[in-house]
Amino acid sequence: MAIHPVEFRYGTPEMKAIWEAENKLQRMLDVEAALARAEGELGIIPEEAAAEIARKASTEFVTPERVNEIERETKHDIASIVKALAEQCEGDAGEYVHFGATSNDIVDTSNSLLLRESIGVLRDKLVEVLRVLLKLADENRDLVCMGRTHGQHALPTTYGMKFALWADEIHRQIERLDACRKRLCVGMMTGAVGTTAALGEDGLEVHERVSEILGLEPVLISNQVVQRDNHAEFMMVLANIATTLDKIALEIRNLQRTEIMEVGEKFDPEKQVGSSTMPHKMNPITAERICGIARVIRSYVVAALENNPLWHERDLTNSSSERIILPEACILTDYILKLTLDVLNNLVFYPENIKRNFELTGGLIMAERLMAELTRRGMGRQTAYAAVRQCAIEANRKGMNLKDVVLERQDIMEHITEDDLEEIMNPETYIGSALRIVQRVLEESENWL
């Protein structure tokens, strides 16, 4: 019976396939095969033995069932794989399996292969999210909306600005992932304490050749493990990505509030149910799921950081937690990337509410513009600020429109006309360089993609 939600509720088939037990076993067998090939080429083991080991290093021959059967006796996963592979090899080839290696050479190098695959999937989805955000920025570059700071109405902005801002951040996350991959996905075949002693003078050549066969950079130095600052960095990159997605989803959730309702998730009233008791509910459940899972992904950072300080050349405390956090972090990050794509590709806009929300403060949101215009027309900046602030306080206290209060102020109106005031109070014409800023992002994105 399935227990963990990753088994039945969360995750995509492509990412789950990477971390599925048989694929993990195959990647460890790939490392054993690369080791045998390297040793055969260098004359450390017979070439025919190396060829036989490489041929049998497949889950077609070394099955998860047999490995598990052996592990129940040995209590050691890598020793079980070595024995299962050796017993499949013909002749005396099995005698040469795993020569000169320690268990973590296999574990860390195979994890690099799994993480490389995972990063490929994650990167593809990040690029998809980036493309969708750039498209939304382009399509909505001049859709003026209410900007909010501290949860309060501030000044007009555009939806083009919102989407372009997120696109720029996603681009930085792609850069971080790329930079992290170079340090994380490395090969290691350096033996029990990192000295390659069991392989003698050929140790470094074997280490480098194994990595070359697997398409990895050989780690420059290790002890018994690839140092876990690399894995901690990866986990922090995933947490950072998750937090960006959390930010996007949180803004969409806020904008879908009943009293705001400017944009929101698509809801299918013919099929979808919002609540088991309230028939009217249409909840932003996908965005909420993104925010909730992002919290779990961020929590893995602590374990990843604590996996770096190990006793002396190595202990086993990192192993058990990494069996959990590496696959889960990859699977869950990939999953919320998919959810983000679902939300963004089906985003619903409510233009009438966007326009309505401009009017909620009775023109108070245009106070800054009025103050700036008065300063340009000869009133001192401090004087203009004080005068407009007095008008704003009065309008707010009396429930009046700011424009009507200003019209009664002779000290203000001697600097502007009623027609000027009408234009000043139009929020759709007070967006500064927003259009140019979005255009700059769109132009720069051609280099990103």
**Which residues are known to be catalytic?**
150, 275
> Within 346-433, where are the H helices?
351-358, 367-376, 381-398, 402-407, 410-413, 418-424
- How do 217-218 and 186-187 pair as beta strands? parallel
**CA angle centred on 74, ends 69 and 75, rounded to 5°:** 95
Distances (CA, A) of 449 to 124, 182, 248: 11, 20, 21
Q: Specify the long-range contacts of residues 70-74, CB closer than 8 Å, at least 24 apart.
A: none
CB distance 263 to 252 below 8 Å? yes
Cα 168 from Cα 188, distance rounded (Å): 36
CB distance 154 to 366 below 8 Å? no
3-state SS record for 216-277: CEECCCCCCCCCCHHHHHHHHHHHHHHHHHHHHHHHHHHHCCCCCCCEECCCCCCCCCCCCC
Maximum C-alpha span of the chain: 104
Cα 302 from Cα 406, distance rounded (Å): 56
DSSP string for 64-107: HHHHHHHHHHH--HHHHHHHHHHTTSSTTGGGGTTTT--HHHHH
- How do 263-264 and 348-349 pair as beta strands? antiparallel
Tell me the angle at which helices 317-345 and 285-306 cross, rounded to the nearest 10 degrees.
Answer: 160
What single-letter amino acid sits at 223?
N
Cα 305 from Cα 109, distance rounded (Å): 20
- CB within 8 A of 351, min separation 6: which ones? 143
Cα 364 from Cα 146, distance rounded (Å): 12
336 φ/ψ angles, rounded to the nearest 5 degrees = -75, -20
